[in-house]
Amino acid sequence: MFQTVYEAFLASVAEVAGQPLLAVPPGPSYAPNGHEITYDQAREQVEALKQRYRAAGYGHGHRVGLLFENRPEHLLHVLALNALGASQVPINPDYTHDEMLYQMDHSEADLAVCLSSRVSALERVARDRTAKPLPVADGERLPEALPRPAMAAPRSDAPGRMTEAALLYTSGTTGRPKGCILTNDYWLTAGQWYFDMGRSGGRIDIQPGAERLINPLPVFHMNCGAVSFTCMVLAKGCLVLPDRFHPNRWWKDVVSTRATIMHYLGVMPPLLLNHPKIPEERQHGLKFGIGAGIEPQLHRAFEERFGVPLIEVWGMTEVGRMFADHVEPRQVDTRAFGMPFNGFEAKIVDDQDVEVPRGTPGELLVRFAGPDPRKGFFAGYLKNEKATAEAWRGGWFHSGDAVSQGEDGMLYFVDRKKNIIRRSGENIAAAEVEAALQAHEAVAQVAVISVPDELRDEEVMACIVSMPGVAPGQKLADDLFAWTYEKLAYYKPPGWILFLEKLPTTGTQKVQKTQIFPAGEDPRKRPGAIDLRDRKKRRRAA
């Protein structure tokens, strides 16, 4: 059994030295013609980086902030640090000064390494830091002698399975983000889990030494940086890293990089479906796509147009493992995301943590079967034992997701618990309203939230970004209301619609609903908010 990600990497180098480990499609400034790094080339660069870190005094227990955007260099530094027992603290390139300062302070990072263009920003963070010095190094012009840490490595023993490999910060819905401690065990379990799913039947098919996985999600998040990368290392495959998702060149990137697997987010399918047809969209070699959040109304249409089965999965930073609806017949017209599998257990409970009957929505709880229910999960929230204990109360991890479970065990996503709108005693899942609106050809992005209502407690509000060339306004609001009124129960369509130029998103393009309006603002009072409440009337019986 491998003890570290670095050990797994070396084992693969020994078998497939000349095969590509990392690839970049043509386009970005740092690789205009594309770029590939083979396993042996990666080993050479990782060993050189490891020696520089070691010579400067970095070792087991240190933390190093990394800001390389979505470049392969990020993962090379990760492997070098992992070899020494040091942990990476990936920095979201979209973070503001205050957000970076909080992350570097809270993590007590011992060094920050970044792109040349971000050195000055991190030096400002270092100047404002109060806990301890924060040396900053230019990762593109890395000096032979790195700045030394303020303190010696906390541990002198060799890194092992339970050594911290990464500290990832989740997007908090309230307060500051929490730092998730992810060990080598987490990384190796996550990668092996994905690999094993590909050998257990179904549409996930991962062949050793043969796969090229294109993932446009940020490498500084668990999906790309931990699950995809470690799986490709274990499977001796290649991870393809676009700088970000580009709808206008996605299929060209897929074809030019010879990708066999794609990862996606729910925002991608509607953008690709709304894009004009091009030859490359049917010239690819993709076997399947893995992701979450495709609207059921679009799922079948995507597969029929592009010839790629999209496999809906469920996972979280804290969990590492995935559920996946990959065994035929897949339930593409629903929000199914798989069944408990290979010891990864699920339970649906009410607000008192009492298990609910099959078919009843409730909160998804998960654990691993056996004596250690936390095996393979995150090791805890840094400096927040209370939050860790609360998340694990009763021996199950509380996901915060509202789901239901069929009689056959299939799990169906309903919504985040916090996104349930309570209107006149009726529970409305924001995701259901979003799905109906997203299926309209005039809608590019949508976020459905609850707003106060003096009569009905809460009302549905839709914040919408219209497609390019589509004029927002009363007429479009009328059309969208009529569209949803035809598809949903009378109380579910939006009582308010507000058109915006853009919606705030995380690095993984998830809409941050809590960032749409400043704290304390009543969204109904925002100029341009269109009141449609009087149209929400019960239909007369036929």
The single-letter DSSP state of residue 225 is: I
CA distance 541 to 539: 6
Question: Residue 174: what pLDDT?
Answer: 43
Question: Residue 124: what pLDDT?
Answer: 96
- 409 Rama sector, left if φ>0, alpha if ψ -120 to 50, beta otherwise: left
Under the banding of pLDDT at 50, 70 and 90, the label for residue 540 is low
160 shares a domain with 38: yes
188 shares a domain with 54: yes
CA distance 214 to 242: 8
459 shares a domain with 334: no
Under the banding of pLDDT at 50, 70 and 90, the label for residue 542 is very low
195 shares a domain with 94: yes
440 shares a domain with 334: no
Beta carbons of 135 and 149 less than 8 angstroms apart: yes
* Mean pLDDT to the nearest integer, 300-329: 96
Residue 173 has pLDDT above 70, yes or no: no
291 shares a domain with 163: yes
Within 13 Å and on the Cβ side, how many CA atoms surround 28? Answer: 19
Give the lowest-confidence range in 90-99, 367-376, 502-511: 502-511
**Residue 431 lies in domain:** 424-535
End-of-domain residue from the set 315, 338, 361 = 338
Classify strands 164-169 and 362-368 as parallel, antiparallel or unpaired.
unpaired
Whether omega for the bond prior to residue 504 falls within 30 degrees of 0, making it cis, is no
As for how many domains the chain has, the answer is 2
Question: Residue 508: what pLDDT?
Answer: 63
CA distance 81 to 9: 13
Give the lowest-confidence range in 332-341, 408-417, 503-512: 503-512
Question: Residue 507: what pLDDT?
Answer: 64
Question: Residue 506: what pLDDT?
Answer: 74
| Enclosing H/E stretch for 113 | strand 111-114
CA distance 235 to 206: 8
Q: Is residue 370 part of a domain?
A: no
Residue 461 has pLDDT above 60, yes or no: yes
Under the banding of pLDDT at 50, 70 and 90, the label for residue 420 is confident
- The residue with greater pLDDT, 100 or 161, is 161
CA distance 294 to 300: 10
Beta bridge partners of 35: 24
Task: Dump pLDDT digits (tens) for 269-300.
Answer: 988 998 999 999 999 999 999 999 898 999 99
In three state form, how does the secondary structure of 347-396 look? EEECCCCCECCCCCCEEEEEEECCCCCCCCCCCEECCCHHHHHHHCHHHC
324 shares a domain with 473: no
Beta carbons of 13 and 39 less than 8 angstroms apart: yes
Q: Report the candidate in 151, 304, 287, 108 with the shortest Cα–Cα distance to residue 211.
A: 287
Beta carbons of 188 and 12 less than 8 angstroms apart: no
Question: Residue 489: what pLDDT?
Answer: 79
Read off the CATH number of the domain in which 225 is found: 3.40.50.12780
Q: Report the candidate in 513, 507, 363 with the shortest Cα–Cα distance to residue 430.
A: 513
Residue 98 has pLDDT above 90, yes or no: no
CA distance 229 to 402: 29
End-of-domain residue from the set 307, 338, 369 = 338
Residue 172 has pLDDT above 50, yes or no: no
Q: Is residue 133 part of a domain?
A: yes
Question: Residue 450: what pLDDT?
Answer: 93
Residue 22: CB partners within 8 Å, gap ≥ 6?
A: 36, 37, 42, 72, 75, 238, 239, 240, 241
Residue 357 has pLDDT above 70, yes or no: yes
Q: Report the candidate in 402, 439, 405 with the shortest Cα–Cα distance to residue 296.
A: 439
Mean predicted lDDT score pLDDT of the chain = 93
Task: Dump pLDDT digits (tens) for 44-70.
Answer: 999 999 999 999 999 999 999 999 999
513 phi and psi, to 5 degrees?
A: -60, -30
CA distance 213 to 22: 10
* Mean pLDDT to the nearest integer, 428-453: 91
Of the chain, the percentage scoring pLDDT greater than 90 comes to 81
The number of helices, as runs of H, and strands, as runs of E, in the chain is: 14, 26
Q: Is residue 234 part of a domain?
A: yes
Beta bridge partners of 402: 363, 415
Question: Residue 175: what pLDDT?
Answer: 55
Question: Residue 524: what pLDDT?
Answer: 97
Number of C-beta neighbours around residue 50 at 10 A = 21
* Mean pLDDT to the nearest integer, 324-338: 96
Read off the CATH number of the domain in which 443 is found: 3.30.300.30
443 shares a domain with 294: no
497 phi and psi, to 5 degrees?
A: -130, 135
How big, in percent rounded to 5, are the helix, strand and coil portions of the chain? 30, 25, 45
Give the lowest-confidence range in 141-155, 391-405, 504-518: 504-518
* Mean pLDDT to the nearest integer, 156-168: 97
**Residue 158, Cα to own-chain centre: how many angstroms?**
31
* Mean pLDDT to the nearest integer, 510-529: 92
Q: Is residue 480 part of a domain?
A: yes
444 shares a domain with 307: no
Q: Is residue 355 part of a domain?
A: no
Strands of the sheet containing 20-24, edge to edge, are 35-38, 20-24, 238-240, 212-214, 261-265, 288-292, 310-314, 323-324
End-of-domain residue from the set 293, 308, 338 = 338
Of the chain, the percentage scoring pLDDT greater than 70 comes to 98
Under the banding of pLDDT at 50, 70 and 90, the label for residue 29 is very high
Residue 446 has pLDDT above 90, yes or no: yes
